[in-house]
Amino acid sequence: MHEKVYRVELGARSYDIHIEPDSLPRLGRAMRALLPDAERCLVVSNETVAPLYLEQLEASLREGGWHSTACILPDGEQFKTLRTWSKILDALMEARIARNEPIVALGGGVIGDMAGFAAACYRRGIPFVQVPTTLLAQVDSSVGGKTGINHEHGKNMIGAFYQPRLVWIDPLMLRTLDARQVRAGLAEVIKYGLIRDAAFFDWLDAHMPDALQLDAMVVSELIHESCRHKAEVVMADETEQGMRALLNLGHTFGHAIEAMTAYRRYLHGEAVALGLLMAARMSAQMGYADAAIEARICACLKRASLPTEVPAFPAERWLDAMGHDKKNIGTQIRFVLLKRIGQAFISADVRAQDVRRLIDSYRRA
Amino acid sequence: MHEKVYRVELGARSYDIHIEPDSLPRLGRAMRALLPDAERCLVVSNETVAPLYLEQLEASLREGGWHSTACILPDGEQFKTLRTWSKILDALMEARIARNEPIVALGGGVIGDMAGFAAACYRRGIPFVQVPTTLLAQVDSSVGGKTGINHEHGKNMIGAFYQPRLVWIDPLMLRTLDARQVRAGLAEVIKYGLIRDAAFFDWLDAHMPDALQLDAMVVSELIHESCRHKAEVVMADETEQGMRALLNLGHTFGHAIEAMTAYRRYLHGEAVALGLLMAARMSAQMGYADAAIEARICACLKRASLPTEVPAFPAERWLDAMGHDKKNIGTQIRFVLLKRIGQAFISADVRAQDVRRLIDSYRRA
**Interface contact flag, A38 B146, Cβ < 8 Å:** no
Q: At what angle do helices A216-236 and A198-206 cross, to 10 degrees?
A: 160
Conformational region of residue B140, where left means phi above 0, alpha means psi within -120 to 50, and beta covers everything else:
alpha
Alpha-carbon distance of B306 to B271, in angstroms, equals 9
**Interface contact flag, B93 A324, Cβ < 8 Å:** yes
**Of B221, B240, B270, B294, catalytic:** B240
Query: How does the average pLDDT of chain B come out, rounded?
Result: 94
Evaluate if residue A333 carries a pLDDT over 80.
no
Conformational region of residue A122, where left means phi above 0, alpha means psi within -120 to 50, and beta covers everything else:
beta
Per-residue confidence (pLDDT) for residue B322, from 0 to 100:
85
Kind of pairing, strands B335-340 and B343-347? antiparallel
Mutation target vs A (from B121, B152, B162, B252; most A CBs, 10 A cutoff) = B121
Say which of A37, A100, A124 has its CB closest to residue B148: A124
Evaluate if residue A327 carries a pLDDT over 60.
no
Alpha-carbon distance of B180 to B260, in angstroms, equals 21
Half-sphere exposure of A274 (CA within 13 A, CB side): 21
Alpha-carbon distance of B351 to A109, in angstroms, equals 42
Alpha-carbon distance of A118 to B86, in angstroms, equals 15
To the question of domain A4-176 being in CATH 3.40.50.1970, the answer is yes
What is the model's pTM? 0.91
A327-331, A359-363, B158-162, B237-241: the lowest-pLDDT one? A327-331
How far is the CA of A52 from the CAs of A287, B151, B206, B344, in angstroms?
49, 32, 68, 52
Evaluate if residue A329 carries a pLDDT over 80.
no
- In percent, how much of chain B has pLDDT > 90? 86
- Closest by Cα among A304, A348, A323, A22 to A188: A304
Contacts of A181 (CB under 8 A, 6+ apart): A108, A134, A135, A136, A267, A269
Q: How confident is the model at residue A332 (pLDDT cuts 50, 70, 90)?
A: low
Alpha-carbon distance of A297 to A345, in angstroms, equals 17
Contacts of B87 (CB under 8 A, 6+ apart): B71, B73
Q: How confident is the model at residue B332 (pLDDT cuts 50, 70, 90)?
A: low
Q: How confident is the model at residue B263 (pLDDT cuts 50, 70, 90)?
A: confident
Per-residue confidence (pLDDT) for residue A157, from 0 to 100:
95
Say which of A86, A122, A161 has its CB closest to residue B124: A161
Alpha-carbon distance of B152 to B262, in angstroms, equals 10
B146 given a catalytic annotation: yes
Alpha-carbon distance of A292 to A310, in angstroms, equals 18
**A56, A24 Cβ separation under 8 angstroms:** yes
A64-78, A235-249, A310-324, B224-238: the lowest-pLDDT one? A310-324
Superfamily of domain B179-364: Dehydroquinate synthase-like - alpha domain (1.20.1090.10)
Beta strand extents in chain A (DSSP E only): 4-8, 15-19, 40-46, 67-73, 103-107, 128-132, 146-151, 154-161, 166-169, 335-340, 343-347
Alpha-carbon distance of A130 to A35, in angstroms, equals 15
Evaluate if residue A324 carries a pLDDT over 60.
no
Determine the 3-state secondary structure of A320 from DSSP.
helix
Per-residue confidence (pLDDT) for residue A326, from 0 to 100:
46
Say which of A93, A323, A329 has its CB closest to residue B154: A93
CA A163, A226, A141 angle in degrees (round to 5)?
40
Half-sphere exposure of A182 (CA within 13 A, CB side): 22
Domain-wise residue ranges, chain B: 4-176, 179-364
How far is the CA of B14 from the CAs of A81, B38, B143, B165, B232, in angstroms?
33, 19, 11, 7, 13
Per-residue confidence (pLDDT) for residue B329, from 0 to 100:
38
Q: How confident is the model at residue B52 (pLDDT cuts 50, 70, 90)?
A: very high
Distance from CA of B238 to the nearest CA of A (A): 12
- Closest by Cα among B25, B355, B158, B177 to A82: B158
